Amino acid sequence: MSKTSAVDTIGILTSGGDASGMNAAIRAVARTAWDRGVKVKGIKRGYSGLLNREIFDMDRTFTGDIISRGGTVLFTARCEEFKQEEYQKKAAEILHEEGIDGLVVIGGDGSFRGAQKLAQHGVNTVALPGTIDLDIACTEYTIGFDTAVNTAMEAIDKIRDTSTSHERCSIIEVMGRNAGYIALWCGIASGAEDIIIPERFDGNRPKLEAKLIDSILEKKALGKKHHLIINAEGIGHSYGMAKRIEQGTGVETRATILGYMQRGGAPTAKDRVYASYMGALAVDLLCAGASNRVVGYRNGQYIDYDIEDALGMAKDVDEYEFQIAQVLGR
């Protein structure tokens, strides 16, 4: 394809927590850029790797057979230094020296802030929402969420089988430090009796546990043989909660923390496809001369926002969805 682009070379980096589907986005960015006549450079280990000049020319062999792999082939890291302006300026200088005039950043809101700072220093940037937590307000979809939910759901189903056989109460803790979307979706999908998320927790732990104990006893009186509680990481304390619930109900209670298994594994079809479209759109935005943008998905459309506007948006769990989750658990 003939070149009609505002940028000559696009760099790609992944930053923050890894998420399945990032490789699909990397592949789409690279292959779309090549189709547009634009060169591509990979940057390893996020902003940290950028500051250390871990930059290489990417070719088609690099993107072969990565769409089905979890994690990120560019590796990722957190970089506290990048919060300081001197390091932001240094990174922009490195990008200019490397001939990179467009940058695609895949990560969460912290990564978006880094992209925003680089844009202020003259680097055209577009960010993609890569986080399993679904906690970015400007988009209804984030890369990795679907895979994380399906991974957790499959594990929960297996735990429920054995826990039901022993007539236990099971507390299963899923990821989500400040956002309860994984817990909410897993709770509905696995038929949980109770779902605990940070957005609906007032900080009163004794009150919460008393409510759970009442719920278990009420259902036990109705003949229920098993009780499943999905607990978000942001609430935590699952092992202590299990001990106190067992003491309060007389029902054997076990806690399981799923942990980092939720981040890994082959991405689902949805994460592969959505990440691919987002990656392609990021390239087309850069080729059109756009900068300081974040790609999102809303109302069935792939869209983009100014990063400043995106970071200023607030997000909360839909109250109707939360209420229905409670109804379905009764």
Domain boundary among 230, 263, 296: 263
CB 6 within 8 A of CB 288: yes
54 occurs within a structural domain: yes
Are both 76 and 171 inside the same structural domain?
A: no
Are both 122 and 172 inside the same structural domain?
A: no
186 occurs within a structural domain: yes
Are both 96 and 158 inside the same structural domain?
A: no
Residue 100's pLDDT is 98
Are both 55 and 195 inside the same structural domain?
A: no
100 occurs within a structural domain: yes
What contacts 172, CB < 8 A, 6 or more positions away? 155, 156, 159, 186, 228, 229, 230, 231, 238, 255, 256, 257, 258
What are the per-10-residue average pLDDT scores of the chain (330 residues)?
78 97 98 98 98 97 97 95 97 98 97 97 98 97 98 97 94 96 98 97 96 95 93 97 97 97 97 98 98 98 98 95 94
238 occurs within a structural domain: yes
- Count of C-beta atoms within a 10 Å radius of residue 154: 15
Are both 162 and 288 inside the same structural domain?
A: no
Are both 16 and 133 inside the same structural domain?
A: yes
Residue 64's φ and ψ, nearest 5 degrees, are -75, 135
Are both 73 and 170 inside the same structural domain?
A: no
77 occurs within a structural domain: yes
Q: Which of 133, 135, 194, 271 is catalytic?
A: 133
The HSE-up count of residue 149 (CA atoms within 13 Å, CB side) is 23
Residue 1's pLDDT is 45
327 occurs within a structural domain: no
Full domain range(s) for residue 70? 9-144+267-312
Query: Does residue 133 carry a catalytic annotation?
Result: yes
Are both 16 and 126 inside the same structural domain?
A: yes
Are both 13 and 108 inside the same structural domain?
A: yes
Are both 26 and 100 inside the same structural domain?
A: yes
Are both 138 and 271 inside the same structural domain?
A: yes
323 occurs within a structural domain: no
Q: What's the structural domain count of the chain? A: 2
Helical H segments across the chain, by residue range: 22-35, 46-51, 85-97, 109-120, 145-165, 181-190, 205-221, 238-249, 269-287, 307-312, 319-328
For the whole model, what pTM was predicted?
0.95
CATH code for position 237: 3.40.50.460
Task: For helices 238-249 and 205-221, give the axis angle rounded to 10 degrees.
Answer: 50
Are both 237 and 161 inside the same structural domain?
A: yes
CATH code for position 57: 3.40.50.450
227 occurs within a structural domain: yes
Query: What's the rounded Cα separation, in Å, for the pair 274 and 142?
Result: 9
